[in-house]
Amino acid sequence: MENTVKLPTKNLYAIILASGFIIFFSSLEAIMAAKDIGLYNAWAMNSGTEADLGLYISAVFMTYFLKIMIPVALSVYAAASRSSLGVSSLFVFIWSVLVAGGAAYAFIGRNTSSVFFYLVMAGYAILLLAVLSVSDAYSGGKYK
């Protein structure tokens, strides 16, 4: 593909660090939610059916998996594009939309009483800026 350039190292590190930030704080949030009996009791009362602890923990970790799926995939793709694949303007567009969608998903399930919510949202903002900054390197042509 002649329209691709090698992903700059600075952008690769920014993407991986921001993704790691999101994954770390999402992990802490999931662990805290899984061990909190008050959240389990509230969830059991709102579910309307007889809910057991195993179902609650499965729901917490499924939500966790959905939250970290986009940053994990972006990190893996960014590492691969640094070594062999390369990036184009399509990379910036697709991953910007996916990161914005991941941030929207995290925002919809907001728990504003948790400090992890704000840290994850800050991580998504940093990740979106890191992905958008790839377009500067691509359009500048200095990495061809």
Q: Give residues with Cβ within 8 angstroms of 63, minimum separation 6.
A: 30, 109
Residues of the chain below pLDDT 50: 1, 143-144
Exposed/middle/buried for residue 104 (C-beta within 10 Å: 0-12, 13-18, 19+): exposed
Range of the domain at 70: 9-140
What is the total count of domains within the chain? 1
The answer to whether residue 31 is domain-embedded is yes
Q: Whole-prediction pTM value?
A: 0.83
Backbone angles phi, psi at 87, to 5 degrees: -125, 155
- Residue 85 near residue 79, CB atoms below 8 Å: no
Residue 59 has a pLDDT of 86
The answer to whether residue 2 is domain-embedded is no
The answer to whether residue 18 is domain-embedded is yes
